[in-house]
Chain A
Amino acid sequence: MLAIRETLTASRRAPLLSALGVVTIAFSLFAFGLFGLVAINIRTALEQVEQRVEVRGFLADGTAIESVSAAMKDIGEFPEVARVDYVSEEQALARARKEMGEFADVFEAGVLPASIEVHLRVGLRSPRVVKSVADRIRTYQFIDDVRYGEEWVEKLYRLRNIATIAGTGLGLAFATVAVIIIGATIRMAVLARAKEISIMRLVGATDMFVRLPFLIDGLVKGLLGGLLALLFTWFANRTINRYFLETVFFDPQLMFLGILAGALIGVLGSFVSVGRHLRSI
C-alpha cells in the first residue's frame, strides 16, 4: 500500500519528470512499433506471393482420367502437399485467354495440355522442398513435363531469408535502443529520489521495500508508454493507409504483447536502475 502511495506521491511531486518518462518510453516503443509494422507488412506481402508457389505437372495426351485421379490421390497424401487440382485442356485455355486479354485469340483449342496443380503447405515452400515434390511428380509415366519456376522460387526464398535476418537484426537494434532510452529515463527518476532512497536504507528499509515503488513506477510508465506508442502507431498506419498504400495492422494478440513488452521493459529497467543505485550507496 505504502509503495503505491509513494509512487503516486513521487509522480505528483514531479509531474513533468513522470510525463517526460512516459513520453520517452512511448516514442522509443513507437519507433519499434513502426519498424514492427513495416516488418509484418513485408512478411504479409511475401506470404501472399508465396501462396502462389505451386508445382504444375503437364499430362501426356490421352492420359486416362482414372490414372490421373489415382495419382492425384497419391500426391495429395505427400506430407508437403496442401491441395491438388486438376486443370483440363478447356480450363487451361479459358485461363490463358483471360490472362492474355486482348491477345486471347492467339490460343486455339487443343494447344494447351491438361495438368495437375500441386499446392504446398505453408512453411514447406522452400526451393529444396519444391524441387523434391517436383521430382516425385516427374516419376509418373503420364507426366510429360513439370514446371515450378525454379529461379523464381529461389529468389523469393532468398528475399524471405534476407528480410528475416534484416528484420531480426533491426528489430533487436531498435529494441536495444528502446531499452537503453527507457533505462536512462528510469535512472533519472531514481536519481531524482536518491536522497529518499539513502534515508530509507539508513533507517532500515529492506532493499525490496526500496525497490517496490520504483518497480510499480516502471510498470505504470511502461504500460502507459506502451499504450501511447500503440496509439501513435495506429495513427501512423491509418495515415499510410489513407494516403499511400494498403497495409495490415497488428492483430490483437500482437497489440497485447506490445503493451506487455512496454510494461516488462519498465519493470526491468527500474529493477536494474535501482539495483545499480543501491549498490553505489
Chain B
Amino acid sequence: MIRLHEVAKEYPRAGLALSHISFAVRKGEFVFLTGPSGSGKTTILKMLYMGERPSSGEVLVSGVSSRTARGRQVSQLRRRLGIVFQDFRLLEDRTAEANVRFALEVIGVPKSVIGAKVNRALTQVGLVSKATSYPRELSGGEQQRVAIARALVNDPFVLLADEPTGNLDERATRGVFQLLRDINASGTAVIMATHDLDLVRRSEYRTIELNHGRIVFDSAESAPSAQSAEGGGKAHMRTPTDW
C-alpha cells in the first residue's frame, strides 16, 4: 500500500534531511514515526502526500509513484488520504460543520451527499453537538477532532497525522489517541508522527524511530509477527530510545 525505497532528501541550504529510508506500510496498519525534532518525521509524511519529492529513491503510495506523479494525479491521491496536523489548520471563520464540508466541496463532491457524509464524520469524532461552533469556541482537543473529521470525511485508506497531540493536554491527548485507534480498528491505516514517548511505549503498535534522517529502529523488523491487519499485535522487542 505504501512503500519507501532508499529515499533520501537533501535541501540546498539545510543539507541532508533523510537518507536510506526504506519501509513499507500494509493496509490497515498503525505505525508510529518517532524521533527528536528535526529527525525527519514530518518530511516523510510530506513525501507520503507528495508535498515533497525525494532527492533520490522512490515513494509509492497506492500505486502512485513520487517519480512520475504530477498535478491532477497528486490531487486524486490526496482525495484518498486524510491529513492531520499539530496546529489543526481549521478555518477560523467557519463552523466545525463548514470546515468538514469544505473538504468535500473543493473536490466537487455532489451537494446531495455532502450533508450525510459530514454528519457521519462528525458523529465518528463525537462532535455532532458542536457542529455549529466556531473553532475559537472549541477546546484544543475538540478542534483536533474537527480536523480529524475533515480528514475522515472522504473515507481515506490512510490517515497521516503529524504530531496530532502535540498541542493538547494529557486528557485531550488520550481522547484523540483513542479516536485514532478506533479509526484504525475500523480498517483505516494510521501513520502518526509523534515525539510523545509515553504514548508510543504504552501502545502495541509498530514503531519506526528516526534520528538524523535515518531509521534507527523499526519494531516490525525486530519482531515481524508483531503486526496484524487490525492494528493490534504484541509489543515490539525494544522500546524506542530516549532522545
B-binding residues in A (CB < 8 A): 2, 13, 195-196, 198-207, 209-210
Contacts and interface: CB of A to CB of B under 8 A. Distances in A.
Interface stretch (B53-61, B75-83, B164-172, B217-225): B75-83
B137 interface: no
Contacts of A195: 89, 91
Given A204-B78, A206-B72, 20 more contacts: A196-B91, A198-B89, A199-B91, A199-B102, A201-B75, A201-B78, A202-B83, A202-B89, A203-B102, A203-B107, A203-B154, A204-B75, A204-B79, A204-B81, A204-B106, A204-B107, A206-B75, A207-B71, A207-B75, A209-B107
B10 interface: no
B75, B77, B83, B105 — most chain A CB neighbours (10 Å):
B75
A205 B89 contact: no
B91 A206 contact: no
A199, A202, A204, A210 — most chain B CB neighbours (10 Å):
A204
A2, A205, A207 — most chain B CB neighbours (10 Å):
A205
Interface residues of B, number: 23
Nearest to A200: B106
A204 B108 CA distance: 10
Interface string B198-226: 00000000000000000000000000000
Contacts of A196: 91
A217 to B, nearest CB: 16
B93 interface: yes
Given A13-B93, A203-B150, A2 B105 contact: yes
B103 interface: yes
B106 A202 contact: no
| Chain A contact surface mostly | helix
B30 interface: no
A13 B92 CA distance: 11
Interface of B: 49, 51, 71-72, 75-81, 83, 89, 91, 93, 102-103, 105-108, 150, 154
16 contacts: A2-B105, A195-B91, A196-B91, A199-B89, A202-B89, A203-B78, A203-B102, A203-B106, A204-B75, A204-B76, A204-B154, A205-B75, A205-B106, A206-B71, A206-B75, A209-B108
B93 A205 contact: no
A46 B82 CA distance: 68
Contacts of A198: 89
A2 B89 contact: no
Nearest to A206: B75
Contacts of B81: 204
Contacts of B72: 206
A199, A201, A203 — most chain B CB neighbours (10 Å):
A203
A204 B102 contact: no
B70 to A, nearest CB: 10
7 pairs of A and B residues whose beta carbons are closest in the complex: A204-B79, A204-B78, A205-B106, A203-B103, A206-B75, A204-B75, A200-B106
Nearest to B78: A204
B76 to A, nearest CB: 7
Contacts of A209: 106-108
A202 B76 CA distance: 11
Contacts of B77: 204
B188 to A, nearest CB: 16
A200 to B, nearest CB: 5
Contacts of B105: 2
A202 B83 CA distance: 7
Nearest to B99: A199
Contacts of B51: 202
Contacts of B106: 2, 200, 203-205, 209-210
B13 to A, nearest CB: 15
A260 B21 CA distance: 54
A202 B49 contact: yes
A218 B87 CA distance: 31
B79 to A, nearest CB: 4
Given A195-B89, A198-B89, A209-B106, A203 B79 contact: yes
A200 B106 CA distance: 7
A207 B74 CA distance: 10
A205 B107 contact: yes
Nearest to A202: B83
